[in-house]
Structure 1
Amino acid sequence: MADERDAERDAILAALTPVVDGIAATFGPVCDVVLHDYRNPGKSVVAVAGSVTGREVGGAMSEIGMRVLARGDEAEDDLNYVTRTRSGTLVKSSTMVLRDSTGAVFGALCVNVDVSAVTQVHGLLGALAGLDAAPAELPTTTFGNDIDSVVDALVDVHQSKQRGSWAELDRAERLELFGGLDSRGVFAVRGAVEQVAARLGISRASAYNYLSRARAAHDTSTGGPA
C-alpha cells in the first residue's frame, strides 16, 4: 500500500515538472517556481526554474515548507503573500500544497515573483503624487538549499528578539523562544531539536524539556489538552 502511494506521489510530481518550466517562462526572469517533495525535507526541491530565491534541485525546504510540514494534512494553500529574502528582495509568493488521492499532503508547488522594481515604481509615483505612506514592515523569509542554514537562521531571528544570550534569558523567555520556533515548524524537521540545542549551547535533554513545556503552555492557553 505504501509503495502504491509513493508511486502515485511520484507520478504527480512528474506531471507537474513541466508546469514548473511553463510558469517560469510565462512570467520571465522576475519569477521562479519550485516543486517540493516533503518526503525528504533536507532535499525537498525536485524541480526549479528561475533564480529569484536561489533554489537548486536537491536543495532543502524553506521555513515556509517547515510550516506546511508542521500542519500536516491540515495545511492549506497560502496565496499572494509578500515577504522579503535575507538579501532584501521583495517577493510575492504562493504556496500550493500537493495531496495524494487520500488527501495526505506530501509536497508543494511554490511560485515566487520579484516585486522589488514594482514597489520602487509605486513609491516613486506615491512621492510624485504627494503621498507619504510608510511601507508596511514585511517578514524576512529564509530561502536556502541547506536545511541546517534555514534552521540556524530561524534560531538567530528568534534570539535577536530576546534581550541577550541563552544564559541571560529567564524561563518565560526561553519558553517563548522554543514556542516561537515550534510555531514556525522548525521541529517538524528530523534532527532539528539536536541542531537547535547545539546552536544555543544547551543539552539535547534540555532542548526537549523546553519544547515539551512550550507545547504544554500553548495547549493550555488555547484550551487544548494540557
Structure 2
Amino acid sequence: MTPSDTARDGERDAILAALVPVVHGIAATFGPVCEVVLHDYREPEKSVVAVAGSVTGRTVGGAMSEIGMRVLARGDEADDDLNYVTRTADGTRVKSSTIVLRDSTGAVFGALCVNLDVTAVDRAHALLGALAGAAGGASEPPVTTFGDDIDSVVDAIVDAHLRRQDQTWAGLDRTRRLALFRSLDDQGVFAVRRAVEQVAGRLGISRASAYSYLAQSRAAAPTPEGAHP
C-alpha cells in the first residue's frame, strides 16, 4: 500500500467515524419505525460498520444488499437514491434513501442508508382511500433481500432473475443466459469477491462455464453512446 493509499484510507475512516453519531441521532429522531445503516464498501461482504434501529434486521459486520451492489456497479458515477420504496422478504414496506459517501477526490467508498417502515402508513392510506371511494390497484414495490450473509443476497438476486424469466437455467437459451449474466454484472454482483463461484453454484454450472458466460456477456455488451470501440 502506497502512502497515498494509506492517507486515503485514513480520510475515509475519519468520515465513517464522524458519521456514527449521525446514524444514532437520525434513528432516535424518527423512533422505532426508522433504521439507519452506515456502509463501508471497501469490504462488501461485511460492509455494515454502524446500525441503529431495526427495520431490515441489519447488524454490524453484515453484508451489503443488492442496492449497495448497484452503487458499486456505478462506481464514482453513482448518485444518491432518495425516497424509493421496496419490500423486505416478510412483506414489510420500506421507504429508503441511500446517500453515497465520497472522499476528497470524489471517489465513492460507502453509503448512509435510511430505512423507514411505512407498512402501517400504507395500510391507513389504503383504508382512507377505500372509505373515500378512491380506486386502488397501486403496484407492489419490488422485494429487496437484506441479509448479513452476502451469499444469501447473491442467491436471491439470481433466483429473482430466473423467476422473471419463468424458467430454470436449463430452460434458457444462450441469448437469455448471456442476458442474465449481463444483468447480474450491471447490478454489481460480480464486484463482490467469489461472486462468480457463488452464481455458478446457484445455477448448477461449473465455475469455468460461469466465467465464460460472464466474459461473453461483457464482450457482447453494447458500446455506450459516444464511446469508441
- The normalised TM-score by structure 1 is 0.96
2:128 is the counterpart of 1:125:
yes
Number of residues of Structure 1 aligned to a counterpart in Structure 2: 226
Mind listing any 5+ residue stretches in structure 1 that lack a counterpart?
none
Give yes or no for contact 1:35–1:48 (8 Å, CA) kept in 2.
Answer: yes
From 82, 94, 99, the equivalent of 1:96 is 99
Which amino acid is the alignment partner of residue 12 of structure 1? I
1:39 is paired with a residue whose SS is: coil
Q: Which structure 2 residues correspond to residues 198-213 of structure 1 after superposition, within 5 A?
A: 198-213=201-216
From 146, 157, 160, the equivalent of 1:157 is 160
Which amino acid is the alignment partner of residue 179 of structure 2? E
Give 1:117 deviation, angstroms.
0.6
Give 1:215 deviation, angstroms.
2.4
1:141 is paired with a residue whose SS is: coil
* CA distances 1:142-175 after superposition (whole Å, capped 9, x unpaired): 1110111100111111111224221221111211
Give 1:206 deviation, angstroms.
1.3
1:219 is paired with a residue whose SS is: coil
1:140 is paired with a residue whose SS is: coil
More displaced 10-residue stretch of structure 1: 85-94 or 213-222: 213-222
Give 1:54 deviation, angstroms.
0.2
Show the counterpart of 1:180.
Answer: 183
Q: Which structure 2 residues correspond to residues 20-59 of structure 1 after superposition, within 5 A?
A: 20-59=23-62
Show the counterpart of 1:114.
Answer: 117
Which amino acid is the alignment partner of residue 125 of structure 1? L
From 53, 58, 63, the equivalent of 1:60 is 63
Q: Separation in 1 of the partners of 2:88 and 2:166?
A: 24
More displaced 10-residue stretch of structure 1: 179-188 or 145-154: 179-188
Give 1:218 deviation, angstroms.
2.6
Which amino acid is the alignment partner of residue 199 of structure 2? V
Give 1:61 deviation, angstroms.
0.4
From 76, 86, 98, the equivalent of 1:83 is 86
Which amino acid is the alignment partner of residue 168 of structure 1? G
State the Cα RMSD in Å. Answer: 1.4
Mind listing any 5+ residue stretches in structure 2 that lack a counterpart?
none
Show the counterpart of 1:138.
Answer: 141
Q: Separation in 2 of the partners of 1:119 and 1:14?
A: 35
Which amino acid is the alignment partner of residue 154 of structure 1? I
Which amino acid is the alignment partner of residue 132 of structure 1? A
Which amino acid is the alignment partner of residue 157 of structure 1? A
Q: Separation in 2 of the partners of 1:159 and 1:221?
A: 26
- The normalised TM-score by structure 2 is 0.94
Q: Separation in 2 of the partners of 1:31 and 1:141?
A: 17
